Structure 1
């Protein structure tokens, strides 16, 4: 693909598709669905957790998520919001996300997260490719 800017209509369509992937991340986390979460990644993806653990490939991401996700959301609700999309190329985007956790009655819990998802469009679908979770201190 060429690196020229997307026209406004295409840009909005692609941003909406990217937001749907981020919504699927939220849904899989909220409902403790590790396999659904892992399926959002490219097979050769890279993910660094909020505590700096580096995971290489969908299988390693899935194995880690199967260990840590079940039971993690029993008292909280994750909320993910796309705050910025930078198209590096029409099929590659850097996506900045605001990540919050709320109590079941809607009160904030802990610090916010500020993940960066580099996403690539593969066979017509946006996939998580290289992701870094980062905790925001004093949010």
Structure 2
């Protein structure tokens, strides 16, 4: 195949109305925010598949829901205990009717929700799948955003 004739596909599902899917995905990410702000490891892990893969903000890979739950318990009871965040979903793209990508950005807040960070401190990519009518997070990649100097 010649590079002159090769046209990469635009992958975006428009075969169904995704309004309910968007609401479900927003709820999943909202659950993570609520869990983070209330130190609730079970809620933070509730919407992950059994074989989920997560890369945290320092580059550690956790595979499987049990490992993720244990890491969430340690983090929320430890170094994240008095940390608070606000998430903003920046986009949701449906690759197939049952596969979506979502990005969220995060900023640190006070316990009362007042922003500490002016700029976003982290970006995350979610890979979500719909199984038996329910959306699940199959993978998440967190990346810290360097502070502007």
Q: So what's the TM-score if we normalise by structure 2?
A: 0.82
* Structure 1 residue ranges without an equivalent (≥5): none
Alignment of 1:1-139 (within 5 A): 4-7=13-16, 10-71=17-78, 72-74=80-82, 76-104=83-111, 106-109=114-117, 112-138=121-147
* Alpha-carbon displacement from aligned partner over 1:35-61 (angstroms, at most 9, x marks no partner): 111121000000000000000000010
- Residue-pair matches, total: 134
* Structure 2 residue ranges without an equivalent (≥5): 1-11
Deviation at 1:5, TM superposition (A): 1.6
For 2:105, what is the secondary structure of its paired residue?
Answer: strand
Structure possessing the higher radius of gyration over alpha carbons: 2
The structure 1 segments of at least 4 consecutive aligned residues displaced by more than 4 Å after TM superposition are: none
Taking the aligned partners of 1:98 and 1:104, their CA distance within structure 2 comes to: 18
Taking the aligned partners of 1:85 and 1:4, their CA distance within structure 2 comes to: 11
Indicate the RMSD between aligned Cα atoms, in angstroms: 1.9
